[in-house]
Chains A and B, each alone.
Chain A
Amino acid sequence: MPATLLLLAACKPPPEGRHPMAGADAAAGRAVVERVGCGSCHAFPDIAWPRGAVGPDLSRFASQTMIAGRVPNRPDLLAAFVRNAPAVVPGSAMPAMPIDEAEARDVAAYLYTLGAE
């Protein structure tokens, strides 16, 4: 019984520990998102324009359990996904993006600020 409780509790760690992105900079990630034009397909809560409609609205991305409805929303997978989505989720409509690995980690850190509980 105590072990089950522990397991249940572990499902929902506090926000600050939930998506650790060591050394990544969410503000820099937001700048990358603006520069690359992620808004062509996605809406972000704190980016006024563009608010694309081809892909999902990412306003509550941090509280989402899955990435693209296919893989767990984990920092390492997210950083890999934003840079080269088809490699993580084959068949994803999201193409690879012109960003490097450090930028991808920054973008992931930024996405974890969106709608964090």
Chain B
Amino acid sequence: MTVAVEGLSGWPPPVLDPAGPYAGSVTALTWVLIGMAVAVLLIVLAALYIALFGKGELRRRLGGEKVIWILGIAFPTVVLTGLLVWGLTLTRHLSAPAAEGTALKMRVSGEMWWWRVDYLDEAGSTLMADANELHIPVGRTVEIELVSPDVVHSFWVPQLSGKLDMVPGRRNLIRIQADRPGTYAGQCAEYCGGPHALMGFMVIAHEPAEWARWLARRRAPPAAPTDAQAQRGGQLFLAAGCGACHRIAGTPANGLAGPDLTYVGARRTLGAGILPNHRGTMMGWIGDSQAIKPGNRMPPYRVLSAEQLEAIAVYLEGRR
């Protein structure tokens, strides 16, 4: 029997393997630009070779005014203008709003160094809060508001779209779409200090019916724990003050400084896309997350005993 730890499947994200229309046009543009750059490099190398080693007549013609006019001015003007027009046409749909009422709306806030996620209704109010993971249905455009309360971050899920900055005080819109179910990894793509490189993200694309069932289950917070160890973990979670930074819906824990933990047990990853999520990694994270992700804003909890640490991990495991 193989016990799956699927946590980090999809990591590192392939950057030239689009899984939807938005990433598709970005990837097409990338390949064409690479192709053009290679062609121009070859022309320049050929000209350099002629200039250095060519026969007299050929060298004279290369240095003539006609070649400068054609290769030096006309060629770049025509080619670059053509590329610009083609590129803008190709990527126009990246910034075009989806038809009214067809796109799902979500908000992702880049924070030092994790992602706050809100599923929005048509009016833009939060239906459900989560963190570091986004569940979407395949074949449907998802319009994501990108914001940041602290510094500039950049949202990048290479298989689903290009990258777009999250700028404090601004609200940028990115559209993503997956055309096949799967797990797509993302990464903060703008240096945001300290553990920026450990600020990962997961998008999980489901078949539409499965996604609807998933969302329906999330309308109510998970049931309170019934077994003794998990109940004790829940009490310890509150007693240790975890609720000052973390929210668990349906409990007194209502902190907003750190990731919402209402469904933490269902997440694929811990620490913002960097570790698989199971009891062992959860205990390691709570015990000393500074050793794992130096500089992150959660202090190490060296005061907890092994038994307390495990009880909290068991409690959180059940938040799903």
Contact = CB atoms under 8 A, between A and B. Distances in A.
Interface of A: 35-41, 50-55, 91-100, 103
Contact of B281 (A37, A51, A91, A99): A37
B8 interface: yes
A53 B300 CA distance: 10
Most chain B Cβ neighbours within 10 Å, of A37, A38, A51, A55: A37
Given A40-B292, A98-B278, A93 B8 contact: no
Interface of B: 1-5, 7-8, 270, 274-276, 278-281, 283-285, 287-288, 290-293, 300, 306-307, 309-310, 313
A41 B284 contact: yes
Given A38-B280, A51-B291, A95 B5 contact: no
Contacts of A51: 291
Chain A interface, DSSP helix/strand/loop, else mixed = loop
A99 B2 CA distance: 7
Given A40-B280, A52-B284, A93-B310, A100 B1 contact: yes
28 contacts: A36-B278, A37-B7, A39-B292, A40-B281, A40-B284, A40-B285, A41-B280, A50-B275, A50-B292, A53-B288, A53-B290, A53-B300, A54-B284, A54-B287, A54-B288, A54-B291, A92-B306, A93-B306, A93-B310, A95-B279, A95-B280, A95-B310, A97-B278, A98-B3, A98-B278, A99-B5, A100-B1, A103-B3
A28 to B, nearest CB: 12
Contacts of B7: 37
Contacts of B276: 35-37
B279 A96 contact: yes
Given A52-B284, A52-B288, 18 more contacts: A35-B8, A36-B278, A36-B280, A37-B284, A40-B275, A41-B284, A50-B274, A50-B291, A53-B288, A53-B291, A54-B288, A55-B284, A91-B306, A91-B307, A95-B313, A96-B279, A99-B3, A100-B3
Closest 3 CB pairs of A and B: A40-B284, A93-B306, A54-B287
Contacts of A52: 284, 288, 291-292
Contacts of B270: 40
Contacts of A96: 279
B42 to A, nearest CB: 39
B5 A35 contact: yes
B318 to A, nearest CB: 14
A40 B309 CA distance: 14
A62 B313 CA distance: 30
Most chain A Cβ neighbours within 10 Å, of B275, B285, B291, B310: B291
A85 B149 CA distance: 43
A91 B8 CA distance: 30
Contacts of B283: 40-41, 54, 93, 95
B283 to A, nearest CB: 6
B264 to A, nearest CB: 15
Contacts of A99: 3, 5
Most chain B Cβ neighbours within 10 Å, of A35, A38, A103: A35
A95 B290 CA distance: 20
Nearest to B8: A35
Contacts of B288: 52-54
B267 to A, nearest CB: 13
B280 A97 contact: yes
Contacts of B279: 95-96
A66 B7 CA distance: 32
B161 to A, nearest CB: 28
B95 to A, nearest CB: 37
Contacts of A39: 292
Given A52-B288, A93-B283, A95-B313, A37 B3 contact: no
A94 B7 CA distance: 20
B108 to A, nearest CB: 24
